[in-house]
A and B are shown apart, each in its own frame.
Chain A
Amino acid sequence: MDDFGQLTRWLWASTAILEVFLLSLLVLRRNVNNYPAFSVYIFMTLAQSGLLFLAIQKWGFSSLMSWWIGWGTQAVVLGARAFAVAELCWHILGRFRGIWALSRRILVSSGAVVLGYALVTARHDWRLVLNTLELGLELAVAAVIVTVLLFARYYKVAVKPALRLLAIGFCGYSCISVLNDAILEKWLSSYVQLWNAFGMIAFLACLLVWNWAFRMPVAQPANPAFIDGSIYMRLIPEVNWRLRSLDEQLIEMWRLETPRS
């Protein structure tokens, strides 16, 4: 335990308590059935905390074994996080079959593009390969969440307050992680302790937000009554054609109606 600072120890304990509390809320409020991926993610983070605690106690903070356990469990947690984010996206738009099929492709593409860009432009230092991967994934997660929220906004799909809080937590934590990882990449040696503390504080804040989101059971909205597919094919091309005409009309107005000097 000597490897832990006082602040880190305190943060560690608070995080674990909040994780247990959140898991209890998910089970007691029966949200676990509707949010299985999120529940697994929270369980994974709790398990990671426990494993790391034991590893650092046994082998020390700077040991190779602790390093392997730390990044190994982090990879699993990141995977669970990706599933939880996918679940969040599904809860926001999944009921609407048509736009969900469309948005799913856009979300996967935007996530892949952001991840690819982050990895390609990263500093290629073998010591930081996992750190770089994490940075890319977090940036992709943030981009996906923002895209799904904007999608919902464009289609005027109301997002439940609990889902909004989940999104804020995921996106906020991802943004802080990205900045944290970027700073760690640049000032590796002198920043490790601070990096840990910042990451934990950010996650603690997210846990508070998520606990608040799940303080009550989150009801599943009813599926909408879909209309016949032919209505879309009949009306929408017509709407688009009219909109195009309207747009052309505006161009004409602008060209022709300025006073001739």
Chain B
Amino acid sequence: MSIVLLAGAVAVILGLLFLGVRPMRHDQPGAPHLEAIEEPARQHATYFRVIRQAMSEEDLAFLATRGPLGLVRRAHKERQRIALLYLSDLRADFEKLLRLARVIAVLSPAVPASHEFERLQLTVRFLWRYQMVHAGLYAGLLLLPQLSGLSQIVSELAFRMESAMKDLGERAAVAAELASTVNRSGLDAA
């Protein structure tokens, strides 16, 4: 292997090492726990109907016919700004759901590789496309109302997760109780 290639590999490894050892934003000692994700991911997604109502095409058309050009431009800019804010909030919801999936994976005794790789692949793809849509919105190429499908999927998933979480919390409490009982008995639970 040439020195240049090796130096490149070492530079990549050191870069990834830097990424890997950086403390996480919400670094918590110990294992991930279910309490960390108690908040269901549905706040932003469920606001979509209100946002869409406030930003209807009809309103803008009405404004265009009656209002001065400056006002129309300002309204358009505001709409664009709100759309961008909404999209980033939607991504936050999406990430919350991903976090929940990760915690489930971490606390599961067996994790099939196929599901994990599939989610990783989907996440990478989603984030890439999100960036594209974000750029499209920023450049004024995309329209807000078409975000509704995206919103619907996130809120549906959030709803199902919420009910599953209730079940999950009960099971986790039972597991914790069992573990502490075993520890109290002086047995090695691991």
Contacts and interface: CB of A to CB of B under 8 A. Distances in A.
Interface stretch (B50-58, B61-69, B72-80, B122-130): B122-130
B71 interface: no
A254 B171 CA distance: 41
Given A224-B31, A251-B129, A168 B21 contact: yes
Contacts of B168: 227, 231, 235
Contacts of B132: 250, 254
Interface in A113-133: 117-118, 121-122
A200 B58 CA distance: 74
Interface string B29-46: 111110000000000000
A226 B175 contact: yes
A143 interface: yes
Give chain A's interface residue range (CB within 8 Å of chain B): 35 or more
A219 to B, nearest CB: 9
Interface in A206-228: 221-228
A15 B150 CA distance: 59
Nearest to A160: B29
Interface of B: 1, 3, 6-7, 9-10, 13-14, 16-17, 19-21, 24, 27-33, 94, 97, 99-111, 113, 115-116, 118-120, 122-123, 125-126, 129-130, 132-133, 136, 141-143, 146-147, 149-150, 153-154, 156-157, 160-161, 164, 167-168, 171-172, 175-176, 178-179, 189-190
26 contacts: A99-B106, A122-B1, A142-B17, A149-B16, A154-B120, A155-B105, A155-B106, A157-B106, A158-B24, A159-B21, A171-B13, A172-B14, A182-B7, A225-B176, A225-B178, A231-B104, A232-B111, A235-B161, A235-B164, A238-B157, A242-B156, A245-B153, A250-B133, A254-B129, A254-B133, A257-B143
Nearest 7 interchain pairs by C-beta: A149-B20, A98-B111, A224-B31, A250-B129, A232-B108, A225-B176, A225-B175
Given A96-B31, A154-B102, A250-B132, 13 more contacts: A96-B106, A97-B110, A98-B111, A143-B13, A153-B24, A158-B28, A171-B14, A179-B7, A222-B30, A225-B178, A235-B164, A235-B168, A257-B141
